[in-house]
Amino acid sequence: MNLTREFTDAVMNQDTIGVRIMLKDAMLLDPSMRQFNEMLKYASENMDDIYDEHDGEELITDKSQWDKSYMNGEMVAVVGNFSRERVALLKNIVKYLYMPEETPKKTVHTVNESRNTSSKPQPTRTTGGYRTNTEHTGKPQPEDNHAKNPLGMGMAVAGAAVAVTGICTAKILLAGVGTAVAAAGVVNIIMHREDN
């Protein structure tokens, strides 16, 4: 995996905010965290100190309370408080919300084998390989098309963040690229909806 020139330039220029924005966006673009881990390693090796002390906010570790709204709030907070605790939490939330679940292997039973018919809790129901939120009400919630299209959602969020960074730092090219990526993400989401 290659690091982008924008990222390496931001690291070399000690642009802490820009680096943090690109790092958090990498989580959404690659929920496996391979890209994020490579980028974080490079930033940690080449910047004075990428991490902050945790600001004391009580972080929610109960997976049943993790949803996109909570994730988005923490994505905003991590730019201002890039603590090891918050980064670890976000990595887990993104994996939980966006990584496809492993398909359980089927067990072949022989005729002489007795089957266990005890009622055990069933795993979380999935739709299209992604978890659906049934924890709060016990009933399936309406499907969220964004969960089926993390690439489009990630592009839209990442592009918007880059555009804002470009505007805040008065870098017109960065703002333009961010706007284009955000627009491509929105188009991807719309095209994905039309296909379904």
CA distance 78 to 81: 5
* Residue 175, domain extent: 143-196
Q: Which residue has the higher pLDDT, 16 or 168?
A: 16
| Average pLDDT, integer, range 18-30 | 95
Q: Helices (DSSP H) in the chain: which residue ranges?
A: 5-12, 16-29, 34-46, 68-80, 84-98, 145-148, 150-168, 172-195
Phi and psi for 105 in degrees, rounded to 5? Answer: -75, 140
Domain for residue 116, yes or no?
no
pLDDT at 127: 41
Domain-embedded: residue 32: yes
Give me the chain's average pLDDT, please: 77
- For the chain, give the percent of residues with pLDDT over 90: 48
Same domain, residue pair 37 and 77: yes
pLDDT at 171: 72
b/e sequence 75-106, b meaning 16+ C-beta within 10 Å: bebbbebbbebbbebbbebbebbbeeeeeeee
Q: Which of 110, 138, 166 finishes a domain?
A: 138
Q: Which residue has the higher pLDDT, 151 or 70?
A: 70
195 and 178 assigned to the same domain? yes
Residue type, 72: N
Identify the weakest region by mean pLDDT among 49-58, 118-127, 146-155, 164-173.
118-127
**Hey, how many other C-beta atoms are within 10 angstroms of the C-beta on 187?**
13
Rounded CA separation 158/178 (Å): 7
Instruction: Establish if 107 belongs to a structural domain.
Output: no
Residues 152 and 180 in one domain: yes
pLDDT in tens, 174-184: 667 777 776 77
Residue 108 resides in a domain: no
pLDDT at 95: 95
Tell me: do 38 and 67 sit in the same domain: yes
28: amino acid identity, one letter: L
Cα–Cα distance measured from residue 114 to residue 45, given in angstroms and rounded to the nearest whole number: 57
Q: Which one has a higher pLDDT value, 83 or 116?
A: 83
Instruction: Give the residue, 123 or 20, on which the prediction is more confident.
Output: 20
Q: What is the pLDDT of residue 136?
A: 43
Q: How far apart are CA 153 and CA 3, in angstroms?
A: 21
